[in-house]
């Protein structure tokens, strides 16, 4: 899965750390396990909301405290949403845009 954070962590783009987790059968880079938890939970909610069986890309804008406006794609389909997470990785708020 591609994200717009190409240099660093798939969620927050930080280049420190070095935590890998397999998400959707692909080894992805994160700065820490919390970012990996948040990303994984987000992917699960997007798949549940859309009914998609896979996600090709996610573009994320925002940060931890404000939340993130995102656009996910799967083939020809696009899904826009906003989400915020708790510091333990659980999703606090999720809404379609
Ligand atoms: Zn991160």
Q: How far is the CA of 22 from the centre of ligand 1 (A)?
A: 15
State residue 69's pLDDT score. Answer: 98
Distance 50 CA to ligand 1 centre (A): 25
- How far, in Å, from the CA of 75 to the mean position of ligand 1? 26
Tens digit of pLDDT for each residue in 45-62? Answer: 999 999 999 999 999 999
> Which of these, 68, 49, 65, 66, lies nearest to 10 by C-alpha position?
68
Ligand 1 center from residue 38 Cα (angstroms): 9
Q: What are phi and psi of 18, to 5 degrees?
A: 165, 75
| pLDDT tens sequence for the chain (97 residues) | 999 999 999 999 999 999 999 999 999 999 999 999 999 999 999 999 999 999 999 999 999 999 999 999 999 999 999 999 999 999 999 999 9
Residue 77: per-residue pLDDT? 98
Ligand 1 centroid to 62 CA: how many Å? Answer: 12
């Amino acid at each position: 899965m591609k994200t717009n954070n190409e240099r660093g962590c798939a969620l927050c783009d930080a280049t420190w750390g070095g935590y890998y987790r397999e998400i959707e059968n692909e080894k992805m880079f994160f700065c820490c396990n919390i970012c990996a938890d948040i990303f994984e939970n987000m992917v699960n909610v997007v798949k549940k909301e859309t009914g998609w069986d896979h996600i090709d890309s996610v573009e994320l804008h925002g940060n931890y405290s404000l939340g993130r406006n995102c656009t996910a794609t799967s083939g020809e389909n696009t899904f826009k949403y906003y989400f915020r997470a708790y510091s333990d990785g659980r999703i606090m708020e999720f809404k379609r845009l």
